[in-house]
Structure 1
Amino acid sequence: MVADEVRKAIDTNNKRFSEGFLKGDASITASVFAENAVVFPPDAPMVEGRGAIEEFWRAVIASGVKGVELTTIELSGIGDCLHERGTGILRIRPPGGTPAEQKIKFVVVWKHTADGWKNMWDIWNTSP
């Protein structure tokens, strides 16, 4: 069972991740990732390291993703590693395009570091 304070830390990180999209600031979104984190975008190469991850999210925001709503279904693990399973909604407003929403499902591996809980591995794809 995950302690309440750990669950709150993960919830806070998820809110911060989403805040970056609302503010159009990829540095906020990337701040929840560890320095050596890896993201696994659908149908794309892995993105390794916080700097590259920030650039990746900057491009995603520029493409029209203006909001991300995440819902944790399960958070479990032991010690300094946790895994999170959840769903989400991407709110997309492409430049000159029609607003849309895309449902996703995700898995995140969290690691407790000297800087607190950080996202180490993040993978997602679309969901019906």
Structure 2
Amino acid sequence: MKLLATYLIGLIFGLGISLSGMSNPAKVLNFFDVFGAWDPSLIFVMGGALVTTFVGYKLVFGREAPVFEPTFHLPTSANINARLVGGSAVFGIGWGIAGFCPGGALPALGTSRWEVFAFVGALVIGIALAKLLQSAAAPDLKSRT
């Protein structure tokens, strides 16, 4: 049942991303081009995502526990540090350059366009590199705490 729920959530997410145009890098790049061919339609997509998230959080966290887990797994830190800001900056710069974010690129794999595969490949390499750097810096990070 958990696998079926995961599949359905992914399917709904992928359809939403595809129907909204978030898997089309040209549409995303036009959203960022405020002095050129600006396309403000993604503001409505983001607004819809915010409303859905707000309602979803109210419904989910109104429960005592999740449906398929004994407890909620939530971040324990609210610190804003250099890693968080740096990661956010890299994410934003990559999204602005490529027109893809991970959420939009994965459903776009179905288009079989080489640009999507190049982005997802770079994403996987970036994740692996970040994990490698994090494990190499782990002793240094532990000594600071």
Q: What TM-score comes out, normalization by structure 2 length? A: 0.28
Larger % of strand: which? 1
Structure of higher CA gyration radius: 2
Structure with greater contact order relative to length (CA < 8 Å, sep ≥ 6): 2
Larger % of helix: which? 2
